[in-house]
Amino acid sequence: MTKGLIFDLDGVIVDTAKYHYLAWKKLANTLGFEFTKEQNELFKGVSRKRCLEILLEIGNREATQKEFDTWMLEKNVDYLEYIENMDASEILPDVPKVLQYLKDNNIPIALGSASKNAQPILEKVGLLHYFDAIVDGNHVTKAKPDPEVFLLAAKQLKVEASDCVVFEDAVAGVEAANAANMISIGIGDENVLSEAQFNFKDFTEISLNFIQKLIEK
């Protein structure tokens, strides 16, 4: 039975959360309120549109549709500036080791991310060539925790959903993987990601032996 492995981007492959934070903070400050790193935790795995809705709730601000669209655009322009110079040094530890192992074993690999900037980020850090399919915020109509992003990834890999494994750092992403009937692997705080079937702090904790077991099952 062929397995398919699906990776989230932010928090799993690279830490782009810090750049999202800077861009959202800049917008909040422009609008006259503060936005903390703790509040930024709420944004992980969440779509850009939903992030702005939450930000406006935090700042107790209303927006016309035109303002809303303008602020989403401004945030993204700033975010693109922050990620402009990303390179391979920003790849999270041991991620290339796992991707290379999967490639060596002919296991299809997909990206399943909420970000609309996923492909250029993979290009910048030099990992694009590992991916057989890229499903991101440009391809889905329903955000995580809806399973759409992962189901679409499985379809593109031509692998049954129940034969897929998902690496996720966000609660909504773990929920989406579980809803897709896939094996969910939480990367990060196991108390936060308690719904995941397996938990690891990061990829340095994941042995190639464990990966081998996953692809053999």
Give the residue numbers marked as catalytic: 8, 10
Of 128, 127, 170, whose CA–CA distance to 150 is shortest?
Answer: 170
* Nearest residue (CB) to Mg ion, 8 versus 78: 8
Structure-token pair, residue 123: 């290009």
- Residue 131 binding target from Mg ion, ligand B16, none, CB below 5 to 8 Å by type: none
Residue 188 near Mg ion by CB under 5 A = no
Among positions 98-117, residues that touch ligand B16 (CB under 6 A) are 113-117
For 123, residues 6+ apart whose C-beta sits below 8 A from its C-beta are none
- The span of 45-53, 57-65, 123-131, 205-213 binding ligand B16 (CB under 6 A) equals 45-53
Taking CB atoms, the residue at the shortest distance from Mg ion is 11
Per CB under 6 A, the list member of 45, 147, 186, 188 interacting with ligand B16 is 45
How far is it, in rounded angstroms, from Cα 79 to Cα 172?
A: 22
For 36, residues 6+ apart whose C-beta sits below 8 A from its C-beta are none
Residues 67-86, one symbol each (x = binds ligand B16 by CB under 6 A, - = not), give: ---------x----------
3-state secondary structure of 95: helix
For 203, residues 6+ apart whose C-beta sits below 8 A from its C-beta are 92, 93, 94, 95, 97, 98, 187
| Sites of contact with ligand B16 (CB under 6 A) | 8-11, 20, 43-48, 51, 76, 113-117, 137, 170
| Sites of contact with Mg ion (CB under 5 A) | 8, 10-11, 45, 169-170
